[in-house]
Structure 1
Amino acid sequence: MSRTSPRTDLDFEAFYKHARGRLLLQTYALTGDLPASRSAVKDAFSHAWHHWRKVSRLEDPEAWVRPHAWSHAQRLHTTRIWHRDKSLDPERRATLEALAKLPVSQRRVLLLNELSATSLPDMAREVGLPLAETERQLQAGTAAFSVERDVPSTAIRGLLEDLRTQTEDTSWPRGSIVRRAGDRRRRSHTLIGVAAAVVAVIASGAVATDAGGAQPDIDRVDRSADDSAPAAQVEVEPLPESAMLDADQVDAHLPGRGWQVVSTDGNTEGDGLVMPCQQERFADPHGAAALVRTFESQAGGTTMHAVQSTELSRTTTGAQRAYDASLEWFAGCADGRAHLVATYDVDNVGDAATVMVLRTWLGDTRTVVAGVTRSGRMTTTTVMTSPSTDPVPATAPGGLLAAAVNTLCGEDGGGACATDVEMHTRAPVPVGVAPGMLAEVDLPPVTGVDEPWIGTEPRQAMTNTAATQCDRTDFTGDAVSHALTRTYLVPEADGLPDSFGVTETVGTLEASRARAFVAGVRDRVDKCAERDLGTEVTRLGRARSGEAEMDVWRMTTELSDDQSVVYLMGTVRRGTSVAQVCFIPAPGATMGNDAFVALVRRAGERLGAMPPPA
């Protein structure tokens, strides 16, 4: 198939039928969770249809779909549910047990080797490891599985293929339903926007990358597409419309735009995803009432939209969970090419209130401002999106949240009214499996690359992938605890060298040792040019504030008369926690010095979620 001839919907149908069983077997072997695997594979194909113009040109579209299916399956999977399956054959149970005992990296490379036609170099790129490390992980995983199952390595493929017995009777939605889910996703990305309020200091900030996270669940689309099935997943009553903001209130905080109410409903139709970054229909699936209102403005030749979503929980504990869930939607935004720019606490508005500012590239650059507040048993979210060239007053997001709370405070369960609004910058909301590390949403864009960043699974830092030849920093000493390392790649981009990417390694030490640790890195890097005349070191940034410190450098090492390698590297300490971040650019694919300094600073902010030294 030519790279220059995009395939049609019929080609997608054939691809879907040909590859879905194979991907289901792989995800089931990876997780041992058949329902999660089935959902993940369907969502991955929906995602592929969303990007079919690009995916269809690839020589191996399945290699694009597989990482999405695997990652989503692991996010959905939480327990070894085969333990509860009394009908599972003992031999297959033993195979799943043996796979579960492997580290995730070993399990992934073993399954790629045995259940796909992936070459070792492509395998290394897909799992985000150096080629030599990938080969080592494959050898270790093969040996460990063979010992656990007491079989020779030549028998592994047969044992894995035997798991197909558990997956072959799976029922699949029609390809048209999968494509409809992808079309819904595309519409939600291009039509659901919100009117934007953006703080002046971020008007020229870094722009967006993709978190590559969970996509809309096709199961929800199947049900909403079936006229005989209920559209909503939970039974909730609509709130009174008087509990919502009106157009005049929106215009008071985003003035001069002539705002109008477009719709007001209980969000029981379609897939329920009415806001950017939203992951579920309701933040409180057991809530008592909910209402969504959308607004539109067409002033100055620019169409903007705004959304307010309000939920009434049955208990204050339920409202707290709804608030936390809503924060996670935006703090770890899974929409395409989203970059978290700033986070703010909002004082004197409800029991708790937070504003987050993100930049997205969904065709045009947009700034998304999401405000979430909890007051009593009410959780309300306002989301505003605008072209990044059209900022609005910095007080708008906090003021709009206060207006929403003051509209709700007279309702049953609405809590106290807001008073004087104050906004303060704060560290980002912890997200992900390793909240003390960078998340995909933290990474800025790279010039010349439009595809999303994808992070590998955090793993024990036996090797520090963020170290450079100048510092050779080691996180394996007895004094270092909770040492993890992670690599961030752009696997969907063509033409990038294997060396391209961002790496981060973190760890914790006793306070004095943490200070000595980063001082040692600083000393070695500052003296590197003296030791190695072929290396040029330029300091990009340095900051000290209480028990926090940061140093950032650019290093260029000449390999020959006509070849050199460039590193951007930074270290940051926050109390007893330290992080090292390294970025290796490629010709035509780099990030600005200021953007990298901001990334290292964000790594320091994330360190607040690290556990104390062991």
Structure 2
Amino acid sequence: MRKKADPHAFETFYKDVRGRLLLQTWALTGDLPAAQKAVRDALVIGWHHWRKVSRLEDPESFVRPQAWSHALRRHTARPFHRERGFDDEIRATLAALAKLPQLQRKVLLLAHLTTLPLDQLAREAGITQVRAERELQAATAAFALARNVPTTSILGLFEPMAAELRDLRWPRPSILTRAGSARRRMHTAIAAAVALVGFAGSGLLVTDADGVRPTLEALSMHTPGSDGPEPAVARITTDDLISPDQVTSALGGVWTTQMTSDNTDGDGLVLPCQQQRFADQSPRAALMRTLVSGKALSVGQSTEVSTSPASAHAAYVASLTWYAGCREPRLQLLSTRQVTGIGDEATLVDLRDWKRPNRSVVASIARTGSVTTTVVSAQPAPGKKPVATNTGLLAQAVGRLCELPDGGTCTSTPKVTPRPPIAVGDHPAMLDVVDLPPVEGVAQPWAATAPKPATSNLAATRCDQTVFHRKGVSGDLTRSYVIPMAKVAPQFGLTETIGSFGSARAARKLVATTRDAVATCPKTDLSTKATQLENVATPARDLTSWRVQVETSDKTTVVFLMAILREGDNVAQVGFVPSGSATIPDAVFATLTDRAAERLRQLG
């Protein structure tokens, strides 16, 4: 006789975990009502399966994913809902959490609000332990920076939230157990009905209409419609994805398929820089494939069929934004290229992963009709012409997909053209963390402060004292970029200040004033030396950069890298202060200022 579930043991469990679960779930979503409902539902499910759950070493690890999943579904319509009526500390913590990608938020909360070891944390997050370490490092740095606290003080930030929850009224355990028992009875009835229908039909439920067992070769994902069978246009099979032979012809070597799936398991984050399970929030069909060659080379393809070309275009833009503004730590955007001759629209994003071993990561995104596909290759840097090889792979991928019923333009003669970076972030006219180069001798990731009005300009040197916050200037902002976990001097970091001066003439005047001030500085201040690194002067753009050295004593010299640049009516100033050997080469700084000029076009 099967042993009955013990309500007293469940009651003890319920009282022990409910407060922790609610705090975690609230922090995950920022939506307290959704969190309360989700925790209640998760505990009802826990009682439904209590005979099994109570035998687990850690029953809380069964209930927690249920609560988090339910809460995330409830608050999807209003992402990271902002509650009112709480004190400033709570609202600041929720705002800082909202800035983190969902995966990093999960990893941060699992690390600080549970006692899970790292291997179990990674398993619950659905990622490898190595990736969990990277995501936790990035999340910790970004969250601590946003809240302006050392990383060792993060746990204390959740105490005001916990205090807010202590006086909440909870339903009696008997209410949950009754709901769980009713749920169990309903599931039993449904299972019996399904079994009856399965045997009353022409075959068992584990076979298709011809009595053949399903295989991987027929794998596809469909979102059920309201009535009748799914239309043919929503079908995509594994034969529509790139094959190992095609990858071998483009990249050389011997390639094998590692995984092919509909990407409905785990968190769905398979490819580098991917931020959500699907780019289209409601795709009609989707498939994911990864291929490998040895331990160092990998290729991944994600393909989605949307309900219309317009929806597919939105998915294309979403995918493109993931890579153009990649949130993974220490991935730098090198270049962006427009591609014609492949599908209806296509773009290549070239990235460098500076974590050891360094990798070249190229994402190729294309749309043909209502179908979007992303092909991502990763190989040891610098790699064998990664952009050219990915163009060929993308052409082969689209060549198959364009023949689908919902496909569009196929492939002709691909042409690749450099283009400015895709606008990313809330302030696309400013440098993004993805633009920043590695710092010599530093292995930790960059993080950016929130932009604020440029009432003071930290990018200026003592030679120029350039002012952006003044009459006639609009959109003036300044922000700093730091590496919170690096062992560097307090003054180390990068700063950018921007503003629109209303006319090209006014913008040119400011640039000329700054140039003159830096040029004459060594004459008026004998302790200062200014070396010009780059100088560009065209009707559309001005850009001048310097290495400024200031002797503060007989044995100490402070070094600054500074650039002033103009794009039309807009001006930006970029300053970098190294810390000993933690620096960036002059040529790399020049490349960074070119990127700042490209970003500046987005202002006004």
Same fold (TM > 0.5)? yes
Matched letter for residue 597 of structure 2: G
State which of 502, 514, 533 in structure 2 corresponds to 1:521: 514
Name the counterpart of 1:243. 240
Cα distance change on mapping 1:414 and 1:515 into 2, 3 Å: same
Matched letter for residue 260 of structure 1: T
Q: Does 1:175 align with 2:119?
A: no
Please tell me whether the aligned partners of residues 287 and 312 of structure 1 are also in contact (alpha carbons under 8 angstroms).
yes
Matched letter for residue 458 of structure 2: T
Name the counterpart of 1:464. 457
Please tell me whether the aligned partners of residues 210 and 451 of structure 1 are also in contact (alpha carbons under 8 angstroms).
no
Name the counterpart of 1:257. 253
- Distance in 2 between the 1:567 and 1:76 partners? 47
**Shift in Å, 1:324:** 1.1
**Shift in Å, 1:317:** 2.0
Please tell me whether the aligned partners of residues 141 and 484 of structure 2 are also in contact (alpha carbons under 8 angstroms).
no
- Please show how residues 75-114 of structure 1 align to structure 2 within 5 Å: 81-82=82-83, 92=85, 95=87
How many residue pairs get aligned? The number is: 443
Matched letter for residue 240 of structure 1: T
RMSD: 3.6
Q: Does 1:485 align with 2:487?
A: no
Greater Rg over alpha carbons, structure: 2
- Please show how residues 589-604 of structure 1 align to structure 2 within 5 Å: 589-604=582-597
**Shift in Å, 1:259:** 2.3
**Shift in Å, 1:82:** 3.3
Cα distance change on mapping 1:290 and 1:339 into 2, 3 Å: same
Name the counterpart of 1:274. 270
Cα distance change on mapping 1:471 and 1:35 into 2, 3 Å: farther
Q: Does 1:295 align with 2:288?
A: no
**Shift in Å, 1:233:** 12
3-state SS of 1:184 partner: coil
Unaligned runs of 5+ in 2: 1-16, 37-75, 97-112, 144-186, 188-219, 225-233
Cα distance change on mapping 1:188 and 1:241 into 2, 3 Å: farther
The alignment's TM-score, normalised by the length of structure 2, stands at: 0.67
Please tell me whether the aligned partners of residues 343 and 354 of structure 1 are also in contact (alpha carbons under 8 angstroms).
yes
Cα distance change on mapping 1:461 and 1:78 into 2, 3 Å: farther
State which of 330, 339, 359 in structure 1 corresponds to 2:332: 339
- Distance in 1 between the 2:468 and 2:522 partners? 23
Matched letter for residue 438 of structure 2: P
Cα distance change on mapping 1:80 and 1:248 into 2, 3 Å: closer
- Distance in 1 between the 2:515 and 2:544 partners? 7
**Shift in Å, 1:479:** 1.5
Please tell me whether the aligned partners of residues 261 and 293 of structure 1 are also in contact (alpha carbons under 8 angstroms).
yes
Name the counterpart of 2:499. 507
State which of 286, 303, 306 in structure 1 corresponds to 2:299: 306
- Distance in 2 between the 1:523 and 1:76 partners? 54
Please tell me whether the aligned partners of residues 440 and 455 of structure 1 are also in contact (alpha carbons under 8 angstroms).
yes
3-state SS of 1:436 partner: coil
- Distance in 2 between the 1:498 and 1:490 partners? 10
- Distance in 1 between the 2:343 and 2:328 partners? 28
Name the counterpart of 1:184. 127
Cα deviation 1:13-48 (Å, max 9, x = unaligned): xxxx9x9899979979xx97448999xxxxxxxxxx
User: Which range moved further: 281-290 or 233-242?
Assistant: 233-242
**Shift in Å, 1:546:** 4.4
Matched letter for residue 82 of structure 1: E
Cα distance change on mapping 1:376 and 1:26 into 2, 3 Å: closer
- Distance in 1 between the 2:33 and 2:443 partners? 33
3-state SS of 2:458 partner: coil
**Shift in Å, 1:242:** 2.2
**Shift in Å, 1:246:** 1.6
Cα deviation 1:391-420 (Å, max 9, x = unaligned): 236421222212111111110111111111
Cα distance change on mapping 1:338 and 1:77 into 2, 3 Å: farther
3-state SS of 2:564 partner: strand
Please tell me whether the aligned partners of residues 287 and 314 of structure 1 are also in contact (alpha carbons under 8 angstroms).
yes
3-state SS of 2:511 partner: helix
- Please show how residues 145-164 of structure 1 align to structure 2 within 5 Å: none
- Distance in 2 between the 1:496 and 1:545 partners? 38
Q: Does 1:372 align with 2:365?
A: yes
- Distance in 1 between the 2:348 and 2:478 partners? 30
**Shift in Å, 1:311:** 0.4
Name the counterpart of 1:580. 573
- Distance in 1 between the 2:115 and 2:78 partners? 24
Matched letter for residue 329 of structure 1: W
Matched letter for residue 175 of structure 1: L
**Shift in Å, 1:517:** 1.4
Please tell me whether the aligned partners of residues 370 and 384 of structure 1 are also in contact (alpha carbons under 8 angstroms).
yes
Please tell me whether the aligned partners of residues 535 and 543 of structure 2 are also in contact (alpha carbons under 8 angstroms).
yes
Name the counterpart of 2:100. none
Q: Does 1:329 align with 2:322?
A: yes
Cα distance change on mapping 1:530 and 1:37 into 2, 3 Å: farther
- Distance in 1 between the 2:33 and 2:547 partners? 47
Cα distance change on mapping 1:378 and 1:449 into 2, 3 Å: same
3-state SS of 1:556 partner: strand
Cα distance change on mapping 1:414 and 1:544 into 2, 3 Å: farther
3-state SS of 2:342 partner: coil
- Distance in 2 between the 1:233 and 1:535 partners? 66
3-state SS of 1:306 partner: strand
* Larger RCO (CA under 8 A, 6+ residues apart): 1
Which stretches of structure 1, 4 residues or longer, exceed 6 Å deviation after superposition?
Answer: 19-28, 35-38, 209-214
Please tell me whether the aligned partners of residues 505 and 579 of structure 1 are also in contact (alpha carbons under 8 angstroms).
yes
Please tell me whether the aligned partners of residues 221 and 286 of structure 2 are also in contact (alpha carbons under 8 angstroms).
no
- Distance in 1 between the 2:583 and 2:22 partners? 36
Matched letter for residue 276 of structure 1: P
**Shift in Å, 1:185:** 4.4
Unaligned runs of 5+ in 1: 1-16, 39-74, 84-91, 101-106, 113-171, 192-208, 215-227
Matched letter for residue 459 of structure 2: A
- Distance in 2 between the 1:25 and 1:326 partners? 28
Cα distance change on mapping 1:22 and 1:459 into 2, 3 Å: farther
Matched letter for residue 443 of structure 2: D
- Distance in 1 between the 2:465 and 2:406 partners? 57
User: Which range moved further: 576-585 or 514-523?
Assistant: 514-523
**Shift in Å, 1:290:** 0.6
Cα deviation 1:570-597 (Å, max 9, x = unaligned): 1111111111000000012111111111
- Distance in 2 between the 1:290 and 1:578 partners? 44
Matched letter for residue 263 of structure 2: N
Q: Does 1:496 align with 2:492?
A: no
Name the counterpart of 1:554. 547
- Distance in 2 between the 1:36 and 1:568 partners? 49
Matched letter for residue 399 of structure 1: G
Cα distance change on mapping 1:78 and 1:310 into 2, 3 Å: closer
**Shift in Å, 1:260:** 2.6
- Distance in 2 between the 1:437 and 1:356 partners? 19
